[in-house]
């Protein structure tokens, strides 16, 4: 395989929501600690997160929502971060990730992104004419030695990974709550199927582990069944 082994790792509600509502002011990281019945077991998600891969992928939109453009500079960590971003990261946010990351790789289609004005030894920019996840993943492995990558993104980017068959594992922590709302982000958003023949693109999963956590939380780990692998051909560049 010419790309990293990828794992989608997410915290979600029992009905598949990865946010507490359809507004950027609502977020599980900010809101779950305030809710009795959720806050008691939430620490388990963050403890599991500490055991994920040393390469992590997210989006500038999610990080801007978390306030990265205004946070105080962090301490260095052993984790290398990959961010997909065209317009949400400001210069401060770029420098914040440079300070935090072992290696920081920005994937963008914006030739005027503020990152181009930042000088840092660990900052690397992949400029694409349009988003090409396979190309970005292949470059991460070939140029930076990224063998395993944890994806922690929003529902739209998650849908690209699913529909392009670029996920190998799904690792979910299920919170004991129902959120609802048709406009609230789910684990996999994006365009819906509208014809029966499109169902061949469904992501089929094989359960590898089911762990009952404390306070009614649950951890589910799946392997994604790749049809290319079933035919003897691994996905590659």
| pLDDT for the residue 233 | 44
Domains in the chain with CATH codes: 5-230 (3.40.430.10)
| pLDDT for the residue 228 | 57
Strand 5-13 and strand 169-175: pairing? parallel
Among 104, 139, 137, 140, CA closest to 119: 104
Q: How many residues does the chain have?
A: 237
Compute the distance between CA of residue 24 and CA of residue 104 in angstroms, rounded to an integer: 25
Answer left, alpha or beta for residue 101, where phi above 0 means left and psi between -120 and 50 means alpha.
Answer: beta
Q: Where would I find the H helices in the chain? A: 28-31, 39-49, 60-65, 91-100, 133-144, 155-163, 227-230
| pTM, entire model | 0.92
- pLDDT tens over the chain, length 237 residues: 799 999 999 999 999 999 999 988 899 999 999 999 999 999 999 999 999 999 999 999 999 988 999 999 999 999 999 999 999 999 999 999 999 999 999 999 999 999 999 999 999 999 999 999 999 999 999 999 999 999 999 999 999 999 899 999 999 999 999 999 999 999 999 888 888 878 877 889 999 999 999 999 999 999 999 865 444 444 445
Q: Which long-range contacts (CB under 8 A, 24 or more apart) does 199-203 make?
A: 201/163, 203/162, 203/165, 203/167
| pLDDT for the residue 61 | 92
Compute the distance between CA of residue 179 and CA of residue 17 in angstroms, rounded to an integer: 7
How many Cβ atoms are within 10 Å of 100's Cβ, its own excluded? 19
| pLDDT for the residue 173 | 98
What would the two tokens of residue 42 be? 């939430």
């Amino acid at each position: 395989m010419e790309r990293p082994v990828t794992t989608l790792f997410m915290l979600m509600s029992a009905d598949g929501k990865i946010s507490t509502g359809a507004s950027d002011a609502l977020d599980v990281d900010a809101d779950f600690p305030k809710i009795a019945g959720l806050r008691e077991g939430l620490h388990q998600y963050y403890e599991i997160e500490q055991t994920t891969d040393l390469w992590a992928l997210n989006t500038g939109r999610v990080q801007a929502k978390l306030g990265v453009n205004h946070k105080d500079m962090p301490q260095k960590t052993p984790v290398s971060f990959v961010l997909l971003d065209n317009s949400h990261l400001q210069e401060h946010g770029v420098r914040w990730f440079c300070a935090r990351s072992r290696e920081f790789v920005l994937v963008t289609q914006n030739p005027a992104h503020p990152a181009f004005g930042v000088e840092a030894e660990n900052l690397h920019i992949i400029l694409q004419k349009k988003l090409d996840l396979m190309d970005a993943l292949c470059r991460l492995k070939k140029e930076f030695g990224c063998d395993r990558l944890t994806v922690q993104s929003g529902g739209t980017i998650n849908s690209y990974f699913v529909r392009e068959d670029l996920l190998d594992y799904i690792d979910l922590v299920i919170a004991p709550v129902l959120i609802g709302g048709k406009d609230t982000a789910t684990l996999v958003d994006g365009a819906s199927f509208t014809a029966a023949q499109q169902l061949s693109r469904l992501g089929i999963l094989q359960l590898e582990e089911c762990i009952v956590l404390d306070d009614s939380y649950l951890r589910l780990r799946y392997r994604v069944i790749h049809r290319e692998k079933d035919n003897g051909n691994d996905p590659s560049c």
